[in-house]
Amino acid sequence: MRRLLSDRRPDWQKTIEAQGLGFHGNVPQGEDGRPYWDESVYYAFTMPEILELERVTEDLHGMCLEAVDHVITRERYADFRIADWLHEPIRQSWKRRDPHLFGRFDLCYDGAGHAKLLEYNADTPTSLVESSVIQWHWKEDVHPACDQWNSLHEKLIDRWLHISAPGAGIHFAFTRDEEAGEDALNAAYMMETAAQAGLPTRLLAIEDIGWDSGQRRFVDLQGQKIRRLFKLYPWEWLVTESFAALAIERQARTPWVEPLWKMLLSNKALLAVLWDMYPGHPNLLPAHLDGPRDLAAYVAKPLLGREGASIRIVQASETTTMPGDYGAEGYVYQEFWPLPDFEGRRPVLGSWVIGDESAGLGIRETSGLITGNTSSFVPHLIDS
């Protein structure tokens, strides 16, 4: 695993915008004025390193599914601060095995030691367009003879075929509250993969979903029935909405994507549950819900935090804090495992899983200790 310099393509901004990454200019520049998409550097991996990351990703995915079963069987919902009225619907969603589509594991890896799980984005992961489309075109333009760990597009199409009835329509929802446009872009891209699978699709804002009380069904602005919904809107927000009870009731007939049971995987209490179930596992870090215990250095992560907000890193010499409004629901305390340092830059590897298979890699890079919403996305390739 190496970090290498690269010349930016002429008119690279127009190129990536033409390929779909229109929101990149809306993201505030990060450290040292770096753009969100930064192709002045890239990471090169060997094939054995990629094969190891693939194995780790699928192992972690299997462990997470076991963790869902563990939490439901032992009724550990309180650890996740999940309201009582949701316990039985979650159990039923898991019992039905409501179909899941995708997720992204954030890993710490330096090419030498064991990859360590930092967290799992299991409900509404983003940076999909960058990982699937933009960096692939970069590779084809700049390093056409090299390969890349990237089968995201093809596997998404196959997964839609696997979890959908032929010809079944799907609505794709995002929220207008995300002003940069990233959520709308990711929802639109996901809609494109479903359309390539031959499924009828419609895009809408979640704020535009209506309820037809006479027909007792959700509808779009045209009055069309919403049978299946892909929602780039997290369950922990949705269950606080006025229509939450109606949405939960609909899951028994037409479960939305991602399914309700993924509330147990998109919550960082998962990190403590995994450590309870697999203590000492080489790809996990010690994590606890009742405090840092005997951890000499630790990261306090809000159970429902996003993009690094409200995270606190406590070391003997210093404490580093990221501003934010999360944490009211509680924290998990995970051992602090420093990101590898490549010439002052620290990468987090976003390892994607589609269905039950590993599918590709996206890398976010920062000069600090915490990866946030302005951290740059940099491409990668396989060079040997």
| DSSP secondary structure, 54-117, as one string | HHHHHHHHHHHHHHHHHHHHTT-GGGGT--GGGHHHHHHHHHHT----EEEEEEE--SSS--EE
Task: Please tell me the pTM assigned to this model.
Answer: 0.95
**Contact between 35 and 380 (Cβ < 8 Å):** no
DSSP bridge pairs for 43? 3, 380
- 101, 77, 93: which is closest to 261 by C-alpha? 93
pLDDT of the residue at 306: 86
pLDDT in tens, the chain (384 residues): 999 999 999 999 999 999 989 776 666 665 667 899 999 999 999 999 999 999 999 999 999 999 999 999 999 999 999 999 999 999 999 999 999 999 999 999 999 999 999 999 999 999 999 999 999 999 999 999 999 999 999 999 999 999 998 888 999 999 999 877 889 999 999 999 999 999 999 999 999 999 999 999 999 999 999 999 999 999 999 999 999 999 999 999 999 999 999 999 999 999 999 999 999 999 999 999 999 999 999 999 999 998 888 999 999 999 999 889 999 999 999 999 999 999 899 999 999 999 999 999 999 999 888 888 789 999 999 997
Q: Three-state DSSP class for 366?
A: strand
- Report domain extents, the chain: 2-267+340-382, 286-335
Q: Is the peptide bond before 258 cis (omega within 30 degrees of 0)?
A: yes
pLDDT of the residue at 167: 82
What would the pLDDT profile of 220-255 be if each residue is shown by its tens digit? Answer: 999 999 999 999 999 999 999 999 999 999 999 999
Please give the angle made by the CA atoms of 116, 122 and 128, to the nearest 5 degrees.
90
Strands 380-382 and 41-45: parallel
For CA atoms 179, 182, 183, 185, the dihedral sign is positive
**Contact between 364 and 374 (Cβ < 8 Å):** no
Cα separation, 298 vs 106, in Å, equals 17
Give the residue carrying structure tokens 């890349």: 148
What would the pLDDT profile of 111-142 be if each residue is shown by its tens digit? Answer: 999 999 999 999 999 999 999 999 999 999 99
**In the structure encoding, which two tokens stand for residue 331, read together?**
């924290």
